[in-house]
């Protein structure tokens, strides 16, 4: 099986990692910091997602990304939490731009997420990898990650690997 990769930055990389780890077709998520080129050459919290195109498509991944972080908000922390999709090929760049354009109609405000060239990656330290799976009962996970995963279960249930979330999200 050949995997495709794309990187996403938005909010906290612990949240982003947890969201993508729950999806059918996502085989690996690397959490850390990504840098692009030119004015976006500084590192920003992000994840690299390795996925199987036969099980999940780029449009679904992008839609989930846009809906699980503040993709329309240009807040003061955008240097640390750059709202971005980092592409690895020219074709992927073109696909990402078309997908965002099509998804824009479903958003009240303009999507500010940038489509940027992937340049470099620095992984987070081992103690913070798989943060949600290792710490589901911590207040950060309960307050910030659980609502995102609950949203995923409601809006993208067909894309969720139920085995990955059954023991993590309390059912109410």
* Residues assigned a catalytic role: 12
In the chain, beta strands by DSSP E: 4-9, 26-35, 44-51, 84-87, 114-117, 120-123
DSSP class of residue 3? P
Cα dist. 26→39, 77, 89, 93, 112 in Å? 30, 28, 19, 20, 25
């Amino acid at each position: 099986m050949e995997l495709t990769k794309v990187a996403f930055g938005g909010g906290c990389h612990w949240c982003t990692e947890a969201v993508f780890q729950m999806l059918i077709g996502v085989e690996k998520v690397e959490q850390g910091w990504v840098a692009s080129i030119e004015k976006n050459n500084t590192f920003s919290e992000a994840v690299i997602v390795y996925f199987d195109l036969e099980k999940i498509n780029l449009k679904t991944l992008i839609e989930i990304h846009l809906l699980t972080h503040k993709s329309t908000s240009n807040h003061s922390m955008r240097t640390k939490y750059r709202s971005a999709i980092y592409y690895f090929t020219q074709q992927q760049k073109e696909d990402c731009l078309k997908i965002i354009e099509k998804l824009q109609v479903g958003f009240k405000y303009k999507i500010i997420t940038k489509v940027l060239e992937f340049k470099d990656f620095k992984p987070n330290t081992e103690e913070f990898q798989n943060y949600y799976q290792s710490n589901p009962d911590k207040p950060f996970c309960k307050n910030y990650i659980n609502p995102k995963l609950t949203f995923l279960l409601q809006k993208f249930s067909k894309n969720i690997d139920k085995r990955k979330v059954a023991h993590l999200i309390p059912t109410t």
